[in-house]
Structure 1
Amino acid sequence: MRIDIWSDIACPWCYIGLTRFGRALARFEHADDVEVELHSYQLDPTLPESFDGTEADYLAASKGIDVADVHAMTAQVSAAAATEGLTLDFDSLVVTNPRRAHRLLQYAKGVSGQAAWDLELALLTAHFADGLSISDPDTVSALADGVGIAPDAARAALDSAELDAAVGADVRAAAQLGIRGVPFFVLDEKYGVSGAQPPELFDRALQQVWDEEHSG
């Protein structure tokens, strides 16, 4: 069974959604027969490489809303993350464009699906919990090293035109599928699940698609 997942490293709901899906998959009876491929997506391609302010400042400016409303939004996301044992530190978050990190994820996919999965979760943790810059070469090469990717290869991937083209191809594929938000899960190239759904929904979806594939 194949599962394709579109996500953005700058998306807190992706952090929550991938965590929930990962837990559902880990307890799925046929997990060893499930192939997962991660795909790049950018909710805001205009994110700057460097922003002199907090995530709340950026969101207020980009969405045209009051900072107090942004804090209410991030508090809601943080509460949802806490249900999965995740801590989100929006005050320390380094606002930066994740495009370079997405190129590295494309490289990781060529290493193995597990390497890409582990790297994406490491990048999400670095971004949302640890206050690290996911566009900084030293930071991301260290994270890559932690999942078995050579730091030199990771650094080269950050500015690779070929890998950037792969990121763009993922984004265009999402558009063709009508994906307008992430995380977005496509099961068996037939069924779409949008958002950071409860783990129990992923449990049911995995079982349903598996049963359909193996009926008769």
Structure 2
Amino acid sequence: MTQLLSPPAAQRLQVDIWSDIACPWCYIGKRRFEQALEQFEGKDNVEIVWHSFELDPSAPQSKPSGPNAMRDGLASKYGRSAAEAQGMLDSMTQTAAEVGLEYHFDQAQPANTFLSHQLIHFAAEHGLQDAMKERLLLAYFSEGQHLGQLDTLVKLGAEVGLNADEVRTVLEQQTYAEAVRSDEAQAQAYGISGVPFFVLGNKYGVSGAQAPGTILSALKQVWNEQAPLQLIGAADAEGCEDGSCAVPQR
């Protein structure tokens, strides 16, 4: 019998991730996802696409603030005392440490992240999207750099391999502003109200910084559902083909 199945093309899985630079759970979620991906048999065929999400679009492009700006802002936002807010940050710092991240909230500089998201889109055009995302998160949560300042973003872009003059130009001209707004519109269409949020294979959504085991299970489920039909057994086994059922000679 003629084998009608052609060899399957290499299977691919796209994972779209919405997150914000100023989101501590997003950095933790990135690490947990990476841990899950390392255990996933199809990891070499997974494409990750980062999408923009602003937790506070109205945040000002403020000047650098003093120490403990994050603590004081948290206390004001939720009506907590400075000690209570610090306790919340300490707990988050411990959670981050469990996945190898070093948070320094006492040095963090709250800032509008609109330009940072544009920079990530620009980096994607040069195959450096993940590297840029990682560098910005590290700068914000571990190094206390102010991401609302153009010069800081130009410097960070150059550090991952982008042309500094081009970074400055695209950010000054707001070249990728529409791309950021498009991401945010898609998030709204999906009903995404919090980040991180993972969309696997354009089919399944995973909300929050889930444990690596949970993410790994989701990856396996989507991967298996997308797997192409495979031929099991001999290709020339007896059967009917093209309306003809030949009787084997004995």
- TM-score bracket for this pair, using the shorter chain length: over 0.9
Q: In the alignment, what sits opposite 2:56?
A: 44
1:133-156: CA deviation from partner (whole Å, max 9, x where unpaired): 112233222221222211111112
As a proportion of its length, which structure holds more helix? 1
1:111-168: CA deviation from partner (whole Å, max 9, x where unpaired): 22xx111111110000000111112233222221222211111112323333111111
1:156 partnered with 2:175? no
1:171 partnered with 2:184? yes
Cα deviation, residue 65, structure 1: 3.2
- Whether the 8 Å CA contact 1:133–1:139 is kept in 2: the answer is yes
1:184 partnered with 2:197? yes
Question: Which amino acid in 2 is paired with 1:97?
Answer: N
CA-based RMSD: 1.6
Instruction: Classify 1:173/1:200 alpha carbon distance in 2 versus 1 (closer, same or farther; 3 Å).
Output: same
Cα distance between partner residues in 1 of 2:82 and 2:228: 52
Cα deviation, residue 194, structure 1: 0.8
Cα deviation, residue 11, structure 1: 0.4
1:120 partnered with 2:120? no
- Whether the 8 Å CA contact 1:8–1:43 is kept in 2: the answer is yes
Cα deviation, residue 62, structure 1: 3.0
1:71-86 equivalence runs, <5 A = 71-86=86-101
- Aligned-partner SS, 2:162: coil
Cα distance between partner residues in 2 of 1:90 and 1:20: 20
Question: Which amino acid in 2 is paired with 1:13?
Answer: W
Cα deviation, residue 212, structure 1: 0.9
Unpaired segments ≥5 residues, structure 1 = none
Cα deviation, residue 45, structure 1: 1.1
* Structure label with greater radius of gyration: 2
1:95 partnered with 2:110? yes
Deviates more, 1:27-36 or 1:98-107: 27-36
Question: Which amino acid in 2 is paired with 1:117?
Answer: D
Q: In the alignment, what sits opposite 1:12?
A: 24
Cα distance between partner residues in 1 of 2:111 and 2:220: 38
Q: In the alignment, what sits opposite 1:213?
A: 226
Cα deviation, residue 25, structure 1: 1.7
Percent identity, please: 41
Deviates more, 1:18-27 or 1:103-112: 18-27
Question: Which amino acid in 2 is paired with 1:63?
Answer: Y
Q: In the alignment, what sits opposite 2:232?
A: none
Cα distance between partner residues in 1 of 2:169 and 2:32: 32
2:151 aligns with one of 109, 121, 138: 138
Cα distance between partner residues in 2 of 1:97 and 1:64: 22
Unpaired segments ≥5 residues, structure 2 = 1-12, 230-250
Cα deviation, residue 8, structure 1: 0.1
Cα distance between partner residues in 2 of 1:23 and 1:160: 37
- Whether the 8 Å CA contact 1:100–1:159 is kept in 2: the answer is no
Question: What TM-score does the superposition give when structure 2 sets the normalisation length?
Answer: 0.81
1:63-119: CA deviation from partner (whole Å, max 9, x where unpaired): 33332222122112111101011111000001111111111111112222xx11111
1:177-215: CA deviation from partner (whole Å, max 9, x where unpaired): 000100000001111111111111111111111111106
- Whether the 8 Å CA contact 2:62–2:148 is kept in 1: the answer is no
Q: In the alignment, what sits opposite 1:202?
A: 215
